[in-house]
Amino acid sequence: MKVLFVVSEVYPFMKTGGLADVAYALPKALRKLGIDIRVIMPNYVSIPSKYKERMQKVSEFTVPVGWRNQYAGLLYLEEDGVPFYFIDNEYYFKRNEGAYGYYDDGERFVYFSNGVLEAIKHMGDFKPDIIHCNDWHTAIIPVLLKENYIFDDIYKNIKTIFTIHNLKYQGIFGKEVLGQLLNLGENYFSEDKLKYYDGISFMKGGIIFSDVVTTVSSTYAEEIKTSYYGEGLHGLLNEISYKLYGITNGIDYDLFNPRYDKEIYFNYDENSSSDKLKNKDQLQKRLGLCEKVDIPMIGIVSRLVGQKGIDLIDNVMEELINLDIQLVILGTGESRFEEMFKYYAGTYPNKVSANIFFSNELAQKVYAASDIFLMPSQFEPCGIGQLIAMRYGSIPIVRETGGLKDTVHPYNEYTGEGNGFSFANYNAQDMLYTIKRSIDFYYKKDIWNNLINKSMREDNSWKKSANMYIDLYDKLIWRN
Ligand code: GLC
């Protein structure tokens, strides 16, 4: 079985969020299970040079973008046992900052999508049975395949699967994009195709035109069929629910392992979890927090945006400060949240540490040092932070939504069940109550150690979920 996994970002080449972690770990897990899966992404200028130096040119060709033909180079590199292809074009991908957010993102990802389809002619023996697309940047591929490529023998039998990592970002553009970039007729501006209010939605195209749609947890797969979470597509998602599956993400257990992690101060595992405290001690020193090991440290590693529930925290910040806790924040996002955290860190430097940047190294230290990991998301397709936190024995407090609900089960003091804490309504007081409740248990050392132990032993590796993808791939191919 041959699968081409198409994605706009992959760790360690380019990462802006959890998508990049999945795009690294899932193909790696699938290859271990014997699937010939290869990954293709844009050759961004900012990919570190140590990888660029190892890339080999496979081929050159042209890619249609509207009435123009643009150059493409196809580059190749193997990393951690996974073959990667890169579509090279400086005009589109030589930009200084990050992967997205440019005025011509629509054109850039139409170019990339057509580039991927053209590249399939240049991959030698590797003729994919399945193209696996991810998020809006690649959602137009199933549309273009069915409209422009399917008549060619190489493409005739290719099946498509589209994974939604976040329904909120749809790739919405003016309808002129149909003719100017996509070479699609006016008839695509209709409710059963790409039309989305006055424009067109690439995400909608991916949902309608791919053979199977997946999303990254079973709860989110249900939630997006409702108007609250459906981003205007809930009607459609109900209609296509016969081909919609929720498969919960895992994390890479080699990459995220407190026993071997080189970024943390002291390594530990579930049998030596008391060494976790040494990490806390060191991090308190580094961040200038009060050096006392018996204060619960709450970690937040997150983009500081509405989706992540930061406004709930904002709402009860004063009350939080009054508790005997330490708060460590790492991440960037909306300036109102960045400023808010900076203000509290400035006013209470012993209690609050606001690290308004992103650093992999510090992130690992926060997972290892913190006692509690706070993730009160408004919506969360899967969430990766809570999975890493559990692996490092930091007990998650989450709102019961999406993947958070599927992976964190609230502690029940009567039965001893559960691996974390959670609250149902998107409400700051409920969150505050849950934080207080968790702190009560933090001081009951038997219970707390038990929780640490349990969460560290959870299996959130990719093994189970990778097998679920294989079942889906199998089904798709068997339908022929
Ligand atoms: C997006 C979602 C997040 C998910 C990730 C990987 O970033 O917001 O919940 O974990 O994609 O699928």
Q: What is the pLDDT along the chain (480 residues), one digit of tens a residue?
A: 999 999 999 999 999 999 999 999 999 999 999 999 999 999 999 999 999 999 999 999 999 999 999 999 999 999 999 999 999 999 999 998 789 999 999 999 999 999 999 999 999 999 999 999 999 999 999 999 999 999 999 999 999 999 999 999 999 999 999 999 999 999 999 999 999 999 999 999 999 999 999 999 999 999 999 999 999 999 999 999 999 999 999 999 999 999 999 999 999 999 888 899 999 999 999 999 999 999 999 999 999 999 999 999 999 999 999 999 999 999 999 999 999 999 999 999 999 999 999 999 999 999 999 999 999 999 999 999 999 999 999 999 999 999 999 999 999 999 999 999 999 999 999 999 999 999 999 999 999 999 999 999 999 999 999 999 999 999 999 865
Neighbours of 321 (CB within 10 A): 14
User: Looking at ligand 1, which atom is closest to the CA of residue 21?
Assistant: 6
Same CATH topology for 2-250+463-478 and 273-457: the answer is yes
- The finding on whether 17 has its CB within 6 A of some atom of ligand 1 is yes
Report the CATH fold assignment for 273-457. Rossmann fold (3.40.50)
Q: Hey, whose CA ends up nearest to atom 5 of ligand 1?
A: 18
- pLDDT per residue as tens digits for the range 6-37: 999 999 999 999 999 999 999 999 999 999 99
Which tokens belong to 319?
A: 């009350």
User: Looking at ligand 1, which atom is closest to the CA of residue 17?
Assistant: 7
Q: Identify how many contiguous H helices and E strands the chain contains and give both numbers.
A: 20, 18
Asked if 350 and 290 count as a contact pair (C-beta separation under 8 A), the reply is yes
From the CA of 380, how far away is ligand 1's center (Å)?
A: 7
From the CA of 439, how far away is ligand 1's center (Å)?
A: 28
- pLDDT per residue as tens digits for the range 360-419: 999 999 999 999 999 999 999 999 999 999 999 999 999 999 999 999 999 999 999 999
From the CA of 210, how far away is ligand 1's center (Å)?
A: 20
Which tokens belong to 20?
A: 């990049």
Of the candidates 405, 445, 402, the residue with the CA atom closest to the CA atom of residue 422: 405
pLDDT value for 480 = 55
- The finding on whether 165 has its CB within 6 A of some atom of ligand 1 is yes
Ligand 1 pocket test, pick from 203, 249, 378 with the greatest ligand atom count within 8 Å of Cβ, gives: 249
Top-level class of domain 2-250+463-478: alpha beta
Of the candidates 473, 464, 463, the residue with the CA atom closest to the CA atom of residue 35: 473
Ligand 1 pocket test, pick from 5, 384, 398 with the greatest ligand atom count within 8 Å of Cβ, gives: 384
- The finding on whether 387 has its CB within 6 A of some atom of ligand 1 is no
Of the candidates 33, 403, 18, the residue with the CA atom closest to the CA atom of residue 248: 403
- The finding on whether 166 has its CB within 6 A of some atom of ligand 1 is yes
pLDDT value for 10 = 98
Domain ranges within the chain, ordered by starting residue: 2-250+463-478, 273-457
Is the N-terminal amide bond of 12 cis, ω within 30° of 0?
yes
User: Looking at ligand 1, which atom is closest to the CA of residue 19?
Assistant: 6
Q: How far apart are CA 447 and CA 392, in angstroms?
A: 17
pTM value is: 0.96
